[in-house]
Amino acid sequence: MSASDHNKPTNSPQESAENTTHFGYQTIDKEDKVSMVAGVFHSVAKQYDIMNDLMSFGIHRLWKRFTIDASGVRPGNKVLDLAGGTGDLTAKFSQLVGKSGQVVLADINSSMLNVGRDKLRDKGLVQNIDYIQANAQYLPFEDNTFDIVTIAFGLRNVTDKDMALRSIYRVLKPGGRLLVLEFSKPEHELLNKAYDFYSFNILPKMGELVAKDGDSYKYLAESIRMHPDQETLKTMLDNAGFEQTSFKNLTGGVVALHKGYKF
């Protein structure tokens, strides 16, 4: 079974026409995407963490650790964890930037933010974290605010990715960096096939069984396939103004970490 068996649209993963975009494999009006994505994350919020562990066999924790290690974060830094959801990255950043630093957990979805806030409070992480409901396309921060912006498994859900990248660029300080952790294209055909089989057969069933929500997990699998591959995303970073852009494949390219600087 391959992705093509699932009626994957053949056009570019970018926005296909002026007013339409993709919601998984469906082509929909841009205006509808935000609320449809919101529907998905309202519905998965409570089970999100447990599903993450199950679906990725816990490997998402290593991908996130890799992101932290690559961020070069230091005490006193201001960090934006964009599309931060339940706050895994925020938790680590908050501890590493210390009292003199600050972390903003921003997400478009109030349910995800609430689950994140409760989780971080339970961990005793309160001092240096702010929670903000915001759309990545229209970040409500001054220019040149952050030393580091991360967006982990979030960019593929954003309606206008180029606009979001420009918005991130604007709020980064000169010398600051963006890290995009996102599903990407496995480098090897065999791995690609195995991954397709897993995503379209096993993953939605797991979603159905554990989170009672197969449709949302079908969307997640489809949105992963529609997301730009490594080189395309790198070019998108370049186009948004980022410099010294690069990416590193993790787990055979199932996931890639892109990095770009603002000078």
* Alpha-carbon span 231 to 31, nearest angstrom: 28
Closest CA to 172 of 141, 136, 139, 146: 146
Among other proteins, ligand SAM, none, the one that 243 touches (CB under a kind-dependent 5 to 8 A) is other proteins
For residue 151, CA distances in Å to 19, 89, 148 come to 25, 9, 10
Q: Which of 36, 38, 68, 163 binds other proteins (CB under 8 A)?
A: 68
Does 41 engage in binding with ligand SAM (CB under 6 A)?
Answer: yes
DSSP state of 241: T
Q: Is 63 in the site for other proteins (CB under 8 A)?
A: yes
- As to burial, measured by CB atoms within 10 angstroms (0-12 exposed, 13-18 middle, 19+ buried), residue 263 is exposed
Q: Which of 55, 79, 97, 158 binds ligand SAM (CB under 6 A)?
A: 158
Nearer to ligand SAM, 114 or 230 (CB): 114
Segment near ligand SAM (CB under 6 A), from 17-25, 69-77, 150-158, 210-218?
150-158
Among the listed ranges 55-63, 103-111, 206-214, 221-229, the one in contact with other proteins (CB under 8 A) is 55-63
Measured CA angle at 35 (ends 33, 40), to 5 deg = 95
Q: Which is nearer to ligand SAM, 20 or 190 (CB)?
A: 20
CA 42, 134, 185, 53 torsion-angle sign: negative
Among 11, 53, 72, 212, binds other proteins (CB under 8 A): 72
**Nearest by Cα to 142 from 78, 97, 237, 94:** 78
Which segments of 108-184 are extended strands (E)? 129-133, 146-152, 172-183
Q: What is the binding site for ligand SAM (CB under 6 A)?
A: 37, 41, 83-86, 88, 107-109, 112, 135-137, 152-154, 157-158
Q: What is the binding site for other proteins (CB under 8 A)?
A: 61-63, 65-66, 68-69, 71-75, 92, 95-96, 98-99, 123-125, 174-175, 187-188, 190-191, 243, 249-252, 263
